[in-house]
Amino acid sequence: MSTVVALDIGSSSVAAVELRASRDRLSLSKAVVEPLPDGLVVDGEVEQPDALGQALKRMWRASKLSGRRVRLGVANQRVLVRAIEMPAIDDPGERRAAVEFEAAEHIPIPPDQALVDFQPILRYESESGPRERIMLVAAHRDMIEALVSGVRKAGLQPVGIDLEAFALLRALLPPPGLLDEGAAGAPAQVVCHVGASMTNVIVALDRRCQFTRLVPFGGAQLTRAVADRTGLPPAEAEALKNACGLLGEVPEGWDADTVTEVRHALALGARPLVQEVRRSLDYYGSQGFARPIDRLVLSGGTALCGGLDRYLQQSLGIPVDRGDALLHLDPVGEVAPEVPARAAVAVGLALDGTEGS
């Protein structure tokens, strides 16, 4: 039985997931979400590697995670993602060399400062022969080095780094059936992962990323909207946000006028999220390869704000489901209620280690 540990290091918290894989089952042996002090990670970038290392050390001791080899994810404005098209190449070495050559034309980062990877999306026939659409990913080397440095200072060994968008698709969307994969009429699906400061909008077909965009919006903006309207400090506004939510019956024991005020603030505060998601989907729909969108899957810590899924569904006019990253795993022990939403990235990163994708 092999063990895989994955870390999702966000601006306000870190999620760790430990999976155990055997021949016929995949078990969740541990899932932990711990807060991080302000300033260690800002907008997805590690600003204080030493302090992050100390925080991870404390987390490892308190949660008794067994593995030291970890998989990591990245998502910030210094990671560039581009869909490119090029002649199909079967030889893996030649294909990588060709992609890295093309990257210089599409990625505005000097080659000596960039780390480049890619994921195939679709192979198709054209008048000039077989071609392939590829999702190209490039990250600034110093940003990756800061992340790796912080993790190593905790005595951990990074063994893989992946784009968070790819991890989210593994965790939240079912793998395509062999008979349906690539079917001409298959609809696209959207994953919307709303974190503390950033939202990851991903459009996927057959679990393969067709488009992804980071939106500078997160749960902190909703908390700020409640704080501004009520005059409460951020910690109390956060608790009020989660207790009242956007929609539904008035929670038992709460004053109706207070709930109405909070929900009004949340509705106004969530408008930028709706606008940015709609703009992202409109852009995707304008591409020649776009498919009709079947549904949106909502995840992230902010998905715990009650009624946000229904608010998005009413505003966007497409079905919205809350994602459950633990749905297809065998749990071991009790899991805190916030874990399935918050740990989706970490679960997807761990699945990459067990699936060998």
Report domain extents, the chain: 79-139, 182-323
Q: What pLDDT, on the 0 to 100 scale, is given for residue 184?
A: 61
Q: What is the CA radius of gyration of the chain?
A: 21
Model confidence pLDDT, tens digit, residues 197-216: 899 999 998 889 999 999 99
The model's pLDDT over 141-153, given as tens digits with 9 standing for 90+, comes to: 999 999 999 999 9
Q: How many CA atoms lie within 13 A of 278 on its CB side?
A: 13
Separation between Cα atoms, residue 332 and residue 2, nearest integer Å: 15
Task: Output the CA torsion 80→83→89→90 (10° steps).
Answer: 80
Angle at 235 between CA 232 and CA 240, to 5 degrees: 70
Task: Quickly name the fold that domain 79-139 has.
Answer: Dna Ligase; domain 1 (3.30.1490)
pLDDT in the model for residue 331: 64
Identity of the residue numbered 253:
G
Q: What is the mean pLDDT of residues 35-52?
A: 92
Give dist(CA 205, CA 191) in Å, integer. 11
Q: What's the CA gap between 38 and 233, in Å, rounded? A: 16
Tell me which range, 102-106, 189-193, 325-329, 350-354, is most confidently predicted by mean pLDDT: 189-193
Contact call for residues 285 and 165 (beta carbons, < 8 A): no
pLDDT (tens digit, 9 = 90+) per residue, 55-77? 999 999 998 888 889 999 999 99
Out of 3.30.420.40, 3.40.640.10, 1.20.140.10, 3.50.50.60, which CATH number does the structure's domain 182-323 have? 3.30.420.40
Is 252 in a helix, a strand, or coil? coil
- The DSSP-derived string for 198-235 is -EEEEEEETTEEEEEEEES--HHHHHHHHHHHH---HH
Region 226-232: mean pLDDT is 91
pLDDT at 200: 95
Contact between 344 and 168 under an 8 Å Cβ cutoff? The reply is yes
Fold match between 79-139 and 182-323?
Answer: no
